[in-house]
Amino acid sequence: MSIPAILLPLFVEVILTFVLLLWLGHLRGKDIRSGATRLSQIALREPNWPPRTLQAAYSFSNQFELPVLFYVLTILEIITRHADFVFVVLAWIFVAMRLGQAYVHITSNAVLRRGGFYIAGAFVLMAMWMIFMVRILLGLP
């Protein structure tokens, strides 16, 4: 697989993270300007934001949980030259689950639907790691 094909799902995940950061900044700025939240209420990182802003904050924070394992795995796959078609397909499925989870998180916040995306993505990522570990430990291509 080509490096761009391997990295494209990772780039989409990074873009998602930055989009959520910008959305969060927009919401927080709006909350401060409107008076919905005062700086003194959040000076020590207390979660005293309106619910919609908290949704965006938690969705942004989620991008530093499972995706970190995805980033590490992608780099290891490239370094060890084990990235193949299966890896790229699974990477896209993982990223699609992350996009779905983030979308639900910042819109309806339907917990069961959001959780479904999260769990599906987690299982895909676990499968990706298991495949990688088996290939490395058994010396498989």
Collapse the DSSP code of 30 into the 3-class scheme (helix H, G, I; strand E, B; otherwise coil) and give the result: helix
In the predicted structure, residue 86 carries a pLDDT above the cut 90: yes
- Widest CA span of the chain, in angstroms? 60
In the predicted structure, residue 43 carries a pLDDT above the cut 90: no
In the predicted structure, residue 124 carries a pLDDT above the cut 90: yes
* Distance linking the first and last C-alpha atoms of the chain: 13
As its CATH architecture, domain 3-138 has Up-down Bundle (1.20)
Evaluated on CA atoms 114, 117, 120, 126, the torsion sign reads negative
Q: What is the mean pLDDT of residues 80-98?
A: 98
In the predicted structure, residue 45 carries a pLDDT above the cut 90: no
Mean pLDDT of the chain: 97
- Domain ranges for the chain, please list them: 3-138
In the predicted structure, residue 107 carries a pLDDT above the cut 90: yes
